[in-house]
């Protein structure tokens, strides 16, 4: 099935560093969402974006909905050990989400 | 508000059997979607239900089916299980009325292992 191109696949960073990840697609989406998933659990919604160009923050997280509606990025500032996990982007259209393959984030204390 | 709940959390079945998974959405949410998550394919959309009707469907064989009840609870059924059906099955809900915001909230998933 259709999937988004999410990069990077994995990141190893030091505590306190900033992180950036992004997603691109050949299709236009009405909504862009970012989720975090811990082992054995379901994805937890971090940020939802609804308009092209929209920039939204949630604490140390900032995400943007690309102007073309075909891409989005997520930034995490001043990372902490509990940021460890897999981050997924998802494009939404008509009650269906299309997911990227995820970015595995490891934070070294 | 309680979140999305899924039962059971873990299941072990053998090839050829069938399985039924259950999902209760967030109170007031009427749209329920199902996803399959595997290491190889990632998160793949199965289908979405609203008011007991399937509105959208992914590219899965007919062995995968679902239904929704009048209280918005949903079940997913997989018949004639294959080894490749081993996966984490996730349910998600959203309000579902009017123009979709696609802001879906996920349950913890059911881990299905097919032997």
Tell the burial category of B67 from Cβ atoms under 10 Å away from its Cβ (0-12, 13-18, 19+): middle
Q: How many CB pairs under 8 A join A and B?
A: 82
Query: In this predicted structure, what is the pLDDT of residue B101?
Result: 75
Nearest CA in chain B to A92: B102
The nearest alpha carbon in chain A to B41 belongs to A101
The predicted structure's pLDDT at residue B96: 73
Measure CB to CB from residue A95 to each of B35, B102, B105 and give the nearest one. B102
Q: Which of B92, B96, B108 sits opposite A41 (nearest CB)?
A: B108
User: A3 exposed, middle or buried (CB, 10 Å; 0-12, 13-18, 19+)?
Assistant: middle
Backbone angles phi, psi at B19, to 5 degrees: -145, 150
Give pLDDT, residue B31.
93
Q: Are A43 and A56 in contact (CB under 8 A)?
A: no
User: What pLDDT is stored for residue A100 in this prediction?
Assistant: 96
Residue A56 tokens read as 């939204």
Contact across the interface for A42 and B106, Cβ inside 8 Å: yes
pLDDT in the model for residue B2: 81
Please list the pLDDT of chain A residue by residue as tens digits (109 residues). Answer: 567 999 999 999 999 999 999 999 999 999 999 999 998 899 999 999 999 999 999 999 999 999 999 999 999 999 999 999 999 999 998 888 999 999 999 999 8
Do B58 and B46 touch, CB atoms closer than 8 A?
A: yes
Q: How far is CA B33 from CA A14, A67, B16, B36, B105, in A?
A: 37, 28, 25, 10, 10
> E strands, B3-94, where?
5-7, 10-13, 19-24, 31-38, 42-50, 53-57, 64-68, 74-78, 87-94
pLDDT at res. A94: 82
Across chain A, how many H-helices and E-strands are there?
0, 11
Q: What is the mean pLDDT of residues B49-65?
A: 94
Predicted confidence at residue A54, as pLDDT, reads 95
Nearest chain B CA: its distance from A2 CA (Å): 9
pLDDT tens by residue, B25-47: 999 999 999 999 999 889 999 99
Using one digit for the tens of pLDDT, what is the confidence trace for B81-106? 999 999 999 999 998 776 677 889 99
User: What pLDDT sits at residue B98?
Assistant: 65
Q: Which residues of A touch B35 (CB under 8 A)?
A: 97, 99
pLDDT of residue A1: 52
Q: So what's the pLDDT on residue A53?
A: 95
């Amino acid at each position: 099935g259709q999937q988004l191109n999410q990069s990077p696949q994995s990141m190893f960073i030091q505590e306190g560093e900033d992180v950036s990840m992004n997603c691109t697609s050949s299709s236009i989406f009405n909504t862009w969402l970012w989720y975090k998933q811990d082992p054995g659990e379901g994805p937890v919604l971090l940020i939802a974006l609804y308009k092209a160009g929209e920039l939204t923050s949630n604490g140390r997280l900032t995400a943007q909905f690309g102007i073309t509606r075909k891409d989005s990025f997520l930034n995490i500032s001043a990372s902490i050990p509990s940021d460890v996990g897999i981050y997924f982007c998802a494009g939404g259209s008509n009650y269906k989400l299309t997911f990227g393959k995820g970015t595995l984030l490891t934070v070294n204390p | 508000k309680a979140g999305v709940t899924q039962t059971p959390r873990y299941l072990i079945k053998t090839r050829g059997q069938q399985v039924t998974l259950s999902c209760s959405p967030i109170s007031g949410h009427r749209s329920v979607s199902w996803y399959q998550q595997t290491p190889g394919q990632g998160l793949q959309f199965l289908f979405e239900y609203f008011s007991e009707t399937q509105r959208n469907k992914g590219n899965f064989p007919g062995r995968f089916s679902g239904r929704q009840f009048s209280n918005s609870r949903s079940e997913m059924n997989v018949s004639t299980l294959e080894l490749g059906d081993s996966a984490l099955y996730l349910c998600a809900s959203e309000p579902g009325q009017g123009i979709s915001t696609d802001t879906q909230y996920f349950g913890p998933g059911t881990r299905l292992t097919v032997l």
